[in-house]
Structure 1
């Protein structure tokens, strides 16, 4: 199954603050915050939600199609993605704007404060998925990840019009869309991805209850960090998949994107959702143990060992067999 991943392509500036953000907050002065945190470390890495998901899919052996907008400074990044198995034919290059920037500071308790500069990302609204959908092989799934809001709406509507299933992953862009637009982004999705906070925000924005949302999507996958992942479907009990424990957390940025890559790879190979989520959780932990969202080293043997330790030998053997089958 060919997957098109639409969304942000960015350069990440990742900093580490050795203290706790909360120690600097004054409870009765939160209406006028002016703070500066002296960071100990700076890492400049390739990132962006769509690029992170696409690269994860590529490293697992799929060849996803990445659709997003970048600046003229993208050439080296493009080569990196090609080496990781990502098709960049639908990446639009702006000659006047910089590639988007994500600036994030993480404190000693893994809390994060971030700013995102969209830059060339606004041009993503000019990308059409129709040529790819109508080409030989077509598209089996469109992932609508955080992006320029107009682009997100366009790609969601295009997927519907083309009859291609889509995965809704509005994530941090929920803070920028109206209730009506949130409903348009979610309604009819085969997969809906949120974290715990976003799930509550989505209910508030749409005005739909949890049961109403479940009635409008195929499956709702919610991530809970170290508490794992839930998979909910209308009329069925919610299924909880534990997280894979990390030996040491180097940087939490991009772990959710890695989970999505692993989960979507499993579903593309027609695995049961539980197995797909277990692969996603293992890949998320690989990213947690690395600095940067794309610099991790991926070893099938290490993934299977992590899966065996968390979910047991039977799960590891089943996933190993399924991965061999997918490779063939």
Structure 2
């Protein structure tokens, strides 16, 4: 299966706040919000939703096409080489001659709540990428449209519909500012819809659709629930509940949802059931949450499969081990 992953590539500036953001918020004064948080550290890492998803796919033995716009610093930072060494196809990444690669600043508190600011930079040029041309060069079996330049997300989604390309909708962070009309445009007709439980509720609120109505608009909806696992709502089938990996020692939640998506899509590409695909997603997500940085985790075949078996059983280990070519 040829997977194309469209979305952001960014440098992540990760910071930690010792305390809870909520302790500094006065509910009836939010319209006059003015707060400052003194952070304890700064960790600069590779990130961006599309980069994180493709990295996870590459580490699981799937070679996805990265569809993204980056700055002239992309190669200088060694980011291209890093992704390619993980098995990601960067041959069609658009490089801006003038703008820097996007920058994401993420501050996490003791409750794992996060405040995120994002400078798009070269990401704005993603709208110039022609999905139809890429599809003509090598047919795309599934296009994931992730958080990106808004116009690019609209264009990629529209092109996928017109060209008959199956697509996965993953609007995530862009839901905060998007209106109902745009969200409907990005979601309706998707083969897969990825959200966490908060984002699922936000889609319902902004579109006016009920939870059941959302599921009539898409093929399969996947809702991640953090430590409570994931629920998959297949098209016309019964919900599939998959527990989170047991015994996780959480360090940093950044990029966990992206890695889950990569794991799930790796399972789909390998022809596994939704249950097995979600188990792969949960297992790789556990590795990410236990690591600072979104692409700093290490996957070793036996330890990965041992972790699958410990939570999901021997049959899951056998099925996943036979399907994936982890190193």
**Shorter-chain TM-score above 0.5:** yes
- 8 Å contact 2:3–2:140 — kept in the other structure? yes
CA displacement 1:246-281 (0-9 Å, x = unmatched): 531121000100000000010011110000000000
SS in 2 for 1:44: strand
Matched, 1:280 2:278: no
SS in 2 for 1:197: helix
Q: Distance in 2 between matches of 1:234 and 1:81?
A: 33
- Which residue number in structure 2 is paired with residue 78 of structure 1? 80
| RMSD value, Cα | 1.5
CA displacement 1:153-211 (0-9 Å, x = unmatched): 11111111121100000001112322122111111111000111111111122222222
SS in 2 for 1:113: strand
- Which residue number in structure 2 is paired with residue 165 of structure 1? 166
- Which residue number in structure 1 is paired with residue 260 of structure 2? 259
Matched, 1:104 2:106: yes
Q: Distance in 2 between matches of 1:131 and 1:246?
A: 46
Length, aligned pairs only:
325
Q: Distance in 2 between matches of 1:251 and 1:271?
A: 29
Please, what TM-score do these two structures have when normalized by structure 2?
0.96
Q: Distance in 2 between matches of 1:215 and 1:29?
A: 40
- Which residue number in structure 2 is paired with residue 243 of structure 1? 244
Q: In structure 1, which of residues 84, 88, 91 is the aligned counterpart of residue 90 of structure 2?
A: 88
- Which residue number in structure 2 is paired with residue 16 of structure 1? 16
- 8 Å contact 1:12–1:101 — kept in the other structure? yes
- Structure 1: stretches of 5+ with no match in the other structure: none
- 8 Å contact 1:246–1:285 — kept in the other structure? no
SS in 1 for 2:39: coil
- Structure 2: stretches of 5+ with no match in the other structure: none
Please, what TM-score do these two structures have when normalized by structure 1?
0.95
Q: What does residue range 149-228 of structure 1 map to in structure 2 within 5 Å?
A: 149-228=150-229
- 8 Å contact 1:221–1:232 — kept in the other structure? yes
Cα shift at 1:35: 1.5
Q: Distance in 1 between matches of 2:304 and 2:32?
A: 46
Q: Hey, which bits of structure 1, 4+ residues long, moved more than 6 A?
A: none
Q: Distance in 2 between matches of 1:32 and 1:170?
A: 29
Cα shift at 1:299: 1.1
SS in 1 for 2:205: helix
